Chain A
Amino acid sequence: MMPAIAGKREFKVKQAILKGVYEDNLKVVGKCAHPLAKKPSLFRNKILLFVAMSLITLLGYGTSSNLSSSPVKQFALSPANTRTPSPPSSEKTLNPSDYAAFLNGREPLSRVFGLGVRTIMIDPGHGGSDSGTSGKMGTHEKDMVLDIAKRLRERLRKHSYYTVLMTREQDVAVPLNKRVELANAAKADLFVSIHLNYLPSKPINMIETYYFGPSSDPKTLKLAEQENAGSRYGMSDFREIIEKIGETIKLQESKQLATSIQKKLFVNSREQNGNVYDFGIKRAPFVVLLGVDVPAVLAEVSCLSNREEEIELNTESHRENIARYLEAGILDYLSKGDLRYEAKREQ
């Protein structure tokens, strides 16, 4: 590199330059009285980051087949003020602290189990310019599901223990994102989305209930695409999150809820009209189910492509019945939740 003789001169030049850098920086700081407010140390930030990361890991990857007590403690961690740098301006924007709050917002296990369920959010699909599917006689999915949802609300309210809310109460368009936000903001404990099916190829009546998850069935994917219409997300966006989501508590509970609702809906509907098919519970990547933090299902309670069913749906009594079956399904899930919780405690 440099010849040895130059060493001493170079050293001097360097010292001058380094001093220059120092003074230059000092000038900047000097301009302002206290430009650098004392900030939390990096170390503390790192601890918070670590806590946040463990939560993410726990929720994202943690399988919870063994619902031991340790995850409960993690879930219950208070949303300590984990404020870290965040993008302000647009109110829609999330920042890391929102994320932490969002994760921490997942309540203790008892609530997820159904034991502490107080608030139920009912989500009548579509609305406004989005009619959903329509029958040959001109019956719109959006109108039927709104009426059924209102009836379900009245029924559940009779139990006085529950607060029952709806994502829409009128014939208005509510974006899927908004529905999710409403549910999360209301701290809903359960989320039930109500839709009607349409099966052009077969003139049958069918009932099916979905919870969030991957699906390889092309028909299911097609349906999901229809129900997701209006969100900015495509199917490919979900692939990654589906892989990550794993068997979380939310998914397990959603599956239980779907099972209860599907069973009550189908068994009772069949008593009314034997010509109905049980398509069972399925997983599908519906936007609304993904976004909500708590057990969430989407029930296709009837089928508008079936002429008989379209006629029936136009009668109040049929819609009241469907509401009754949904109510029974939800209560079935909740009572099982109690039992499951008791069983765990016995162990």
Chain B
Amino acid sequence: MKQKESSKEDNILFVGIDLGTSRSSISASNDTREWVESYVGWPRDFISLQVVGKPVLFGAEALKNRLSLDLCRPLEHGVIKEGIEKSEEAVKEIIKYLIDLAKPESGQKIYAVVGVPADTLKVNKLAIRKAVAEFVHSLMVVSEPFAVAYGMNLLNNALVIDIGAGTTDFCIMHGTIPAEEDQKTILNAGDDIDEKLFSYLTEKYPNSRFNKNMVRQFKEQYSFVRETPGDIRVEIPVDGKPVMHDIKNEIRRACENILPAIVETTTEMIARFDPEFQVKIKNNIVLSGGGSLIRGIREYVQDSLKEYGSCSVTCVEDPLFAGSNGALKLAEDMPAKYWEPL
């Protein structure tokens, strides 16, 4: 509360940014909530520039115009590819774009907390700082699942599992800032589901043309594990004619495919703690990220963990903004003395 008042005096805009492999979002103290797909595209040449009409494109628009663009997904595998300046520039463009969306008043100081995938944090903390520094007055970088946990007030005895696109990140909270061993990253996540689904579908329907984008859209629309009522059928052109395809089994298989690794990692991470603490954590597991939207995933994880005693799993309410909201909360709660000018 105090913090907010003083921010009025100094005219500070606090922003929380979630820099994801597939989507990035911003939450700001002026109540802005915006997001963009983490793709950046620059026109390849003069003609492309005139065709697309802008010097840089983002997200869905960039994908749509990909033939005219030099396309970059900067955090594709969870880390800024070392030495690839283009990825750093792309991160800059995304940050700049998001901050512009937050519409800071002129002269307003921007204090930012940026959440990044846990692995990026380990490898590229400095690179991320460099990319963001240009656009803010002060800055802190944290791991994304930690930001989610803080935002939900899960400060102690809790486990956040953030199922994103490139990675699934785990973070155990026990009353302090999580140490390296409290966090773990695995590659079984959304992109992995897309690849599996793509190969299952091309195997089942060799004459139909699928592409990665299409497959991702099917997943986002129909994802489920275990059972779901009704058929799942989609229309796909075969030799130019639209034909209905049954994809229910393939969707299920692809989605379930990432679960064993998630359950296994969860039990492994919890096992390090003494039994009393284990029970507490197991009753405070939270799923976040786009993957938490898969129908039935909460029940699946909860039931799998029940084998080892009681357990409670919940999903965050707003997986798209859970990371940036948490980062914003960190920014707003941060004592003024910790904000050092860059």
Q: Are A and B genuine complex partners?
A: yes
Kindly provide the distance from the CB of A334 to the nearest chain B CB, expressed in whole angstroms: 25
A96 contact from B56, B134, B136, Cβ within 8 A: B56
Residues of B within 8 A of A2 (CB): 153
Whole-angstrom distance between the alpha carbons of A113 and B107 in the complex? 41
List chain A residues, Cβ under 8 A from B46.
94, 102, 177, 180-181, 184, 291
* B residues contacting the other copy or chain, number (CB 8 A): 59
Contact B92 A85 (CB under 8 A): yes
Dominant SS at the A interface?
Answer: helix
B318 within 8 A of A: no
Question: Complex formed: what's the CA distance from A24 to B126 in Å?
Answer: 12
Contact A32 B176 (CB under 8 A): no
State the majority secondary structure of interface residues on B.
mixed
CB of B76 to closest CB in A, whole Å: 16
One digit per residue, 1 when the CB lies within 8 angstroms of any chain A CB and 0 when it does not, for chain B 311-331 equals 000000000000000000010
B63 to chain A minimum Cβ distance, whole angstroms, is: 15
For chain A, residues 140 to 155, give those with C-beta under 8 angstroms from any C-beta of chain B: none
Q: Is A29 within 8 A of B129, CB to CB? A: yes
Whether the pair B177, A21 counts as a contact (CB closer than 8 A) is yes
Q: Report yes or no: B86 in contact with A88, Cβ–Cβ below 8 A.
A: yes
How long is the Cα–Cα vector from A39 to B85 in the complex, in angstroms? 17
Number of chain A interface residues as a range: 35 or more
Does B170 touch A at the CB level, under 8 Å?
Answer: no
Are B67 and A232 in contact, CB atoms less than 8 angstroms apart? yes
Binding stretch for chain B, among A42-50, A66-74, A162-170, A257-265: A42-50
CA distance A244 to B96 in the complex (A): 25
Q: Are A102 and B141 in contact (CB under 8 A)?
A: no
Contact among A25, A94, A98, A232 for B141, CB-based, below 8 A: A25
**Cα–Cα distance between A21 and B50 once the two chains are bound (Å):** 45
Bound form: Cα–Cα A25–B113 in Å? 11
Q: How many A-B residue pairs have CB under 8 A?
A: 154
**Binary interface encoding of chain B residues 66-107 relative to chain A, with 1 for a CB under 8 A from any of its CBs, else 0:** 011010100000000000011001101100100110001011
Residues of chain A within 8 A (CB-CB) of B166 are none
Does A13 contact B156, Cβ atoms closer than 8 Å?
Answer: yes
The reply on A16 being an interface residue by CB < 8 A is yes
Is B53 at the interface (CB under 8 A from chain A)?
yes
Asked if B286 is at the interface of the complex by the 8 Å CB criterion, the answer is: no
Q: Determine which residue in A16, A35, A85 has the highest number of CB atoms from chain B within 10 A of its CB, and name it.
A: A85
Q: Is the CB of A87 within 8 A of B155?
A: no
At the interface, yes or no: A217 with Cβ under 8 Å from chain B? no
Give the CA-CA distance A176 to B68 in the complex, in Å.
Answer: 15
Report chain A residues within 8 Å CB of B218.
Answer: none
**From residue B61, how far is it (CB to closest CB) to chain A in Å?**
11
One digit per residue, 1 when the CB lies within 8 angstroms of any chain A CB and 0 when it does not, for chain B 33-59 equals 000000000111111111111111000
The answer to the question of B338 belonging to the interface, with a C-beta cut-off of 8 Å to chain A, is yes
Stretch at the interface among A190-198, A233-241, A266-274, A295-303: A233-241
Residue of B nearest to A24 (CB): B177
Q: Is B130 an interface residue (CB 8 A)?
A: yes
The residues of B that contact A287 with a CB separation of less than 8 Å are 47
> Can you identify 22 A-B contacts, CB atoms within 8 angstroms?
A10-B153, A14-B333, A16-B177, A18-B335, A19-B338, A20-B176, A25-B141, A28-B125, A28-B126, A42-B99, A43-B107, A46-B100, A46-B106, A60-B53, A87-B42, A87-B70, A87-B85, A88-B89, A92-B45, A94-B43, A94-B45, A244-B53
Given A17-B175, A177-B46; 18 other pairs, CB 8 A cutoff: A10-B153, A16-B176, A18-B333, A18-B338, A19-B338, A20-B177, A21-B330, A24-B177, A28-B126, A35-B129, A86-B42, A87-B72, A93-B44, A94-B46, A98-B55, A177-B47, A181-B45, A241-B53
State the A residues within 8 Å of B (CB). 1-2, 10, 13-22, 24-25, 28-29, 31-32, 35-36, 39-40, 42-43, 45-46, 49, 56, 60, 84-90, 92-96, 98-99, 102, 176-177, 180-181, 184, 231-233, 237-238, 240-241, 244, 287, 290-291
